[in-house]
Every structure is written in structure tokens, then in C-alpha cells.
Amino acid sequence: MPRDELFDELPVVKYKAGKGFERKDDPVIKESSIRILLNGREIIAILALKQELEELAVGFLYNECLINDPAAIESVVVNERLDAVMVESKEEIPEAALTTVRSITAGCGKGVSFINPLKIDYFKILKTQKEIKASVITGLMHEFTRASELFRLTGGVHSAAWSDGEKILRLSEDIGRHNCMDKLTGWKLMNPEKSKDAIMLISSGRISSDVVAKSLRGGGVFLISRSAPTTGAVQLADSFGITMVGFTRGERFNIYTHPERIIE
């Protein structure tokens, strides 16, 4: 979708000290309710930015453990008239995995801390021998921030990206930070050759435990953010082998878990 179809120009009254009030048109991001169906069954409706919808659906279903074998996916079809994405898979939908899936809003996720015990077997401890230089992390964050064009234009989206520890491989933007993570997981599953070296997730938003779970599910052994983590997120990252870095701003950052992978 062209970028100018992702926002509207709306009349606003701007104020600036010393200059007073001014009426102008300003870009305001659009949001849509996107339905995700799996094998004909409606799973969820998500408020999202209407782009990368195939990736959003596949990533969400995988991160929620409703699909586990990307090779079993037979089709992913976007129905623009219904604002729906229909996924067909040869896998059987596990009923237990559906117990916590419901309609969610864009900003706050589902409010579920840690990993549902019914799904714990789908999550594995991440391991890597790769070490990343501290200067590379700050450099990637600078590149990431510059690349988020829609945020600079509207201020109304989160962004997240895959990196191989050297460069940005894929950037996604959405009104919800969880949606960004799902889109990136979906892209990785749908593009195994392009994403084979994707081991680092970079995010603009706060790191909660469900964001860590999505990083874990997608194979993001490094999780880097401009923002802060929660205690639950730190505990989860530590337990499952994720190197978590927060407050990555300018030339500084905080390492919360597994600091041995980051070197001078």
C-alpha cells in the first residue's frame, strides 16, 4: 500500500510558545481492525496498520503457537473487502493454544505475563556463539531510527527490525509494537533464505514479557530497544538465553541479561 494511504491529513490547531495558535493540516496515522482466520475459523481481530498483512497473520499465528510448521502453510490470502487475512494450513489447530487468544488492542497487547504453561513446550532456550561489538549496537540503533520514515512523518507508529548483527535486514512499522514483532516473525517464516542470519530484533518500544516471548519464538537471541524493560521481561530473557539491551540512545545502553555476548 502506498504510504500516503496509511494516514489522513486532518485539520489541527498547533500551538507554540511565543507564536500562539495556527490552524494546519497534519498527517494522522490510520488504523484498521484486521481479522485473522485459520482454516476458516476466525482467531482474532487486531487493530493494525494496513500493510504487511500476510506477515502479520502468519507471525501472529506462529507466535501464539497455533501454527508451528511453516512448510504446512498452503495459502495466505488477504481479503481487502473484509479486512481479513485467511490462512490455510495442513496442521491441526491445537485447542489448548486457543484458550488465551482473543481480540486485542494495538497498544497494550494481551496483558499476559510470561509464557502460557500450555504452550511452554514450543519455546526453546536460544544459544549462539556470536558476539556483538558495543559500537555496532549503537550504530544499528542510529540506522534503525533514521529508517522509520512513517514515524518521522506522523509520530504515530512503533517500529521494529531484524538485523544479522551487522546491518538492518527488514524493518516493519505499525500502530502496535506487538504487531511489529508479529510482522517480523511472519517475514522470517515466509523468507527463510533472506532471513537465515536474522538473530537480532531491534525495537522502538517498551520491552514487556510478551515482547520477549515473541523474540524468543522468532529466534531473536539479541533484543535491543530504545526503551525500558519490565522485570518480567528481564526474568524471561535471562531464563531463555536472550541478551536484552534497553535504553539504547546515543552512544549508551543498558545490558540486562547475558552481557557476555557484547564486547568492547
Claim to verify: residue 44 and residue 13 sit in the same structural domain: no
Q: For residue 88, what is the domain's CATH number?
A: 3.10.20.10
Contact 222, 261 (CB under 8 A): yes
What confidence category does residue 97 fall into, taking pLDDT thresholds of 50, 70 and 90?
low
Is the per-residue pLDDT at 109 higher than 70?
no
Spatial separation of the C-alpha atoms in residues 112 and 19, rounded to whole Å:
46
On whether residue 120 sits in a domain, the answer given is: no
Rounded to two decimals, what is the model's pTM?
0.89
Per-residue pLDDT, 24? 94
Domain count, the chain: 3
pLDDT tens-digit profile of 193-209? 999 999 999 999 999 99
Claim to verify: residue 47 and residue 167 sit in the same structural domain: no
Claim to verify: residue 91 and residue 43 sit in the same structural domain: yes
Where among 59, 82, 111 does a domain terminate?
111
Claim to verify: residue 138 and residue 254 sit in the same structural domain: yes
pLDDT tens-digit profile of 58-91? 999 999 999 999 999 999 999 999 999 999 999 9
Is the per-residue pLDDT at 180 higher than 90?
yes
On whether residue 122 sits in a domain, the answer given is: no
On whether residue 66 sits in a domain, the answer given is: yes
Mean pLDDT, the chain, rounded, equals: 90
What confidence category does residue 156 fall into, taking pLDDT thresholds of 50, 70 and 90?
confident
On whether residue 83 sits in a domain, the answer given is: yes
| Cβ neighbours around 104 below 10 Å, total | 19
DSSP H/E element including 16: strand 7-16
Tell me whether residue 65 is one of the annotated catalytic residues: no
Packed helices 231-240 and 209-218: angle between N→C axes, nearest 10 degrees? 20
Residues in the chain: 264
Claim to verify: residue 237 and residue 138 sit in the same structural domain: yes
Claim to verify: residue 49 and residue 23 sit in the same structural domain: no
Catalytic residue among 82, 108, 112, 125: 108
What confidence category does residue 106 fall into, taking pLDDT thresholds of 50, 70 and 90?
very low
Per-residue pLDDT, 113? 44
Claim to verify: residue 144 and residue 258 sit in the same structural domain: yes
**Residues spanned by the domain of 12:** 1-30
Q: For residue 141, what is the domain's CATH number?
A: 3.40.140.10
On whether residue 237 sits in a domain, the answer given is: yes
Claim to verify: residue 216 and residue 169 sit in the same structural domain: yes
Kindly report which listed range (26-30, 168-172, 259-263) carries the lowest average pLDDT score.
26-30
Spatial separation of the C-alpha atoms in residues 23 and 14, rounded to whole Å:
6
